[in-house]
Amino acid sequence: MAVGMWLDLVTIPVLPLGVVGAGAGDHVRDGVGFIKRMAWASLWRGILNQHVLLEFAAFAGLTGGPVGDLRPGRFPVGDFFGAATLVTTYHILSHYSSLVVRTKASQAVRRLMALRPDTARVLRDGREVEVPIDDVAVGDRVRIRPG
């Protein structure tokens, strides 16, 4: 029922222009400008990745809507705009969640590296000697103690 109401609203003569304007404005705004830059860079290098596919999907949604306005009642205008919005929103949210995961992983590795001790216990000539980490050489036998 809600989808049918949405499609009925889109057939009002002035509303499709507003939806096209809002969709096109959202598509070129700085918030998704990075997607355009990455898509263009990928295409330039001959790489077909998620940024390029997003641009194709959003472009199809934004052009399919006005084309549908030329054939009212026989073309699903609302579906095209809805698809463009859904694909763009999904892509931006997945990019954000990926950024959060990479940031947390990087912070975890940094914290692990901070746990590195300044000295090591090396077995030399049958006895245990504490030396700075930089003096440990390949082939040295290092004793690891708990704690």
Can you spell out the DSSP letters for 66-122? HHHHTSTTTS-HHHHHHHHHHHHHHHHHHHHHHHHHHHHHHHHHHHHHHT--SEEEE
Domain coverage including residue 134: 118-147
Do both 143 and 77 map to the same domain? no
- pTM of this prediction? 0.50
pLDDT reported for residue 115 = 87
Q: Which residues of the chain have pLDDT under 50?
A: 1-5, 10, 12, 30
Do both 70 and 126 map to the same domain? no
**pLDDT per residue as tens digits for the range 4-16:** 445 555 454 555 5
pLDDT reported for residue 18 = 57
Torsion of CA 12, 16, 18, 23, to 10 degrees: 150
Rounded Cα–Cα distance for residues 21 and 6 (Å): 17
pLDDT reported for residue 1 = 41
Domain count, the chain: 2
pLDDT reported for residue 123 = 92
pLDDT reported for residue 60 = 77
